[in-house]
Amino acid sequence: MHPREAIEPREAPLARDEARPVDELNDATRGRAEQVGRLWAVELRAALVNEKRRASGGWPGTLREARTHVAISLIPWLQSNGQTAVTSQQCEGAARLVYASARKVWLENRDPEEDD
């Protein structure tokens, strides 16, 4: 077994009737989740620059943090737009979109690595 395989869990195959969490989100919710992720990356980068630190390397965020962004940014937006019930699968799908969007923006805008 490759050492990396030991620390990275593999996803179990989906049953035919089991949808991926992101598939349960409508287009507006997907767009809002991506917007939340982009804002997260931009704000994190700005905070680092403000502290005179380099915004370089891999995306520093975590899926746990993405779930928090869903809870504080996306769910209130959904509720204000008439969606009072949100399933745990929808929250997880939204968190994965938030994370992927933030990671993409970070990687596109990170500072180049310095040569030692």
Domain range annotation of the chain: 26-109
With CA atoms as reference, report the closest residue to 83 among 37, 29, 19, 36: 29
User: What pTM value is reported for the model?
Assistant: 0.77
Tokens of 38: 């982009």
Q: What's the DSSP call for residue 15?
A: P
> Which pLDDT does position 91 carry in this prediction?
93
Q: What is the pLDDT of residues 80-104, one digit of tens each?
A: 988 878 889 999 999 999 999 999 9
The mean per-residue pLDDT over the stretch 65-83 comes to: 93
Confidence at 13, pLDDT banded by 50, 70, 90: very low
Q: What is the pLDDT of residues 14-60, one digit of tens each?
A: 343 344 666 678 899 999 999 999 999 999 999 999 999 999 999 99
Instruction: Determine contact, residues 19/79, Cβ cutoff 8 Å.
Output: no
> Which pLDDT does position 101 carry in this prediction?
98
Instruction: Determine contact, residues 101/33, Cβ cutoff 8 Å.
Output: yes
> Which pLDDT does position 113 carry in this prediction?
82
